[in-house]
Amino acid sequence: MDHEKNLSRLNRLTKEISLLTHTFSVLGWDQETYMPENAAAERSEQSSLISRLIHQRASSSEMEQVLSDLGCSESTPDGDKSLPDHSRRLLRRAYKSYKDAVKLPEELVSELAEHSSISQINWAKAKNRNDFSLFRPYLEKMIDLLIRKSEILGYESHRYDALLDQFEPWTRTTEIKSVFNRLQPELTGLLNKISGCKQVDDSILHRKWDIKRQKELSHFILKEMNFDFTMGRIDESEHPFTATLGGSDIRLTTRYDKHYFNMGLYGTMHEGGHGLYEQGIPGQMRGTALGECASLAIHESQSRLWENMIGRSMEFFTAYYGKIAEIFPEPAGGYSAEEMFKAVNMVKPSLIRVEADEVTYGLHIILRFRLELQLLEGSVAVKDLPEAWNELSRELLGIVPDCDAAGVLQDVHWSFGGVGYFPTYTLGNLYSAQFLNSMNKDLDVSKQISSGKLLPVLNWLRENIHGRGALYSGPELCRLVTGEDLNPDYFMNYLNDKYDRIYNFNR
């Protein structure tokens, strides 16, 4: 059978996997938004069944045969050398997915899916009741399952490698350690510098912000970002997320607090950045091994760019503070665009990661990364996790949670088995600054934002990031778009320039 027919067979198989994966996402999205509490037991069974079906197809003998017919092997994971580059990149992704799937026993895949569903529900209960003991047995079992998974998948030097690879393909723990070891003292140094300056006034953020009007603002800003509501929607959940329920069905969620302006707007812009990436993947790639993001870090670069580098810029408030004051005449009254800009960028160590400023955010991620390594190594037991969390929070941020809901229970990730996910947030910050630097070479980004013209920014991202789907790994895409490897200097330069403008520490 010739290569063209085999590629067609491969795309048929991956299309089925894609459809099942989207069906699985429907179940997850519903569970986090509208599912009634008593539906949890059967939902976990449904999730387990869909996961088994996905795994069966991903590890099938037919998948093995078609990849073999296309020349894929351990020595040639990207297939026959006579194939065009695009096809070989598709095969590289497909072969990697197959190799991972065929290693994992169906029983473990099913058990992970079923436990994840139940675990998330009990995490939410534990967080709402501020009682870690309610979540502890579910997390203990999850860590045991993930250790089994990492041992089966295999790794080079640390079992964390196997889990990190699920979110950031071909990335190793040693690389993350190297980046974080370089970044931590620079972030701490900048934080100390800012701490010696006069603090900005953020009282405007804690006035009464009507939630109905916050929703109006969220929809308005998403439209300005050019999020397509004919192929997406926004709802509310305990923890904001983006889910792809289909190639033309991208769901966002956010949350609101009537006494904290940042939560609604920036949760929306963050998830909106994710949603735009998903909407921007070309139709011809959908359903194939290339019809997804390059990596989770690249995905996070998009959300962090829209949330912070655009949404928290002075140029953004130049363009949109008038609209904010129109929607919220009372809480925004008497304040200027510059005062609002400074307020949303106040740097102060805080307990909650998703509410953290851009300087301390990376320290939140380093805290979680260290704990994940310790959990997998066995040097910290789940029962001791709250105390270990609090100690690291004191060391890195100088503050200690007064309750577990504001500490070890604040994130949803561990409940669904997302160990290895957190480093992608900080890598995303680094990528976003480097991408922004390259974008500025092609268009005047500040001028576009201050004029309320966000489409040129989106078009640049579509051409350089979204439109390439999973053709490249994260590092490869970075080199292609910026001409160099990932370089944390761009992010630190961005932070120093921005916060010097706010705090005047170099004057």
Q: How many other C-beta atoms lie within 10 A of the C-beta of residue 89?
A: 22
Query: Model pTM?
Result: 0.95
Q: How far is CA 445 from CA 226, 272, 309, 317, 378, in A?
A: 16, 19, 10, 14, 47
pLDDT for 1 equals: 55
Active-site residues, by number, are 271
What gap in Å lies between CA 370 and CA 389, rounded to an integer?
A: 10
Spatial distance between the Cα atoms of 449 and 467, rounded to a whole number of angstroms: 22
Tokens 């109006």 belong to 216
The DSSP code for 443 is: S
SS3 350: coil
Per-residue pLDDT of the chain (507 residues; tens, 9 = 90+): 589 999 999 999 999 999 999 999 999 999 999 999 899 899 999 999 999 999 999 999 999 999 999 999 999 999 999 999 999 999 999 999 999 999 999 999 999 999 999 999 999 999 999 999 999 999 999 999 999 999 999 998 999 999 999 999 999 999 999 999 999 999 999 999 999 999 999 999 999 999 999 999 999 999 999 999 999 999 999 889 999 999 999 999 999 999 999 999 999 999 999 999 999 999 999 999 999 999 999 999 999 999 999 999 999 999 999 999 999 999 998 899 999 999 999 999 999 998 899 999 999 999 999 999 999 999 999 999 999 999 999 999 999 999 999 999 999 999 999 999 999 999 999 999 999 999 999 999 999 999 999 999 999 999 999 999 999 999 999 999 999 999 999 999 999 999 999 999 876
Domain 174-503 class?
A: mainly alpha
Q: Which amino acid is at 213?
A: R
Domains of the chain: which residue ranges? 3-154, 174-503
Contacts of 370 (CB under 8 A, 6+ apart): 392
Q: How many CA atoms lie within 13 A of 452 on its CB side?
A: 12
Beta bridge partners of 253: 235
Cα–Cα nearest to 364, from 183, 486, 501: 183
Question: For the chain, percent helix, then strand, then coil, each to nearest 5?
Answer: 65, 5, 30
The maximal CA–CA distance of the chain, rounded, in angstroms, is 73
Q: What is the three-class DSSP state of 252?
A: strand
Alpha carbon distance 21, 18 (integer Å): 5
**pLDDT number for residue 382:** 98
Cα 235 from chain centre: 18
Closest residue by Cα to residue 354 from 432, 238, 258: 238
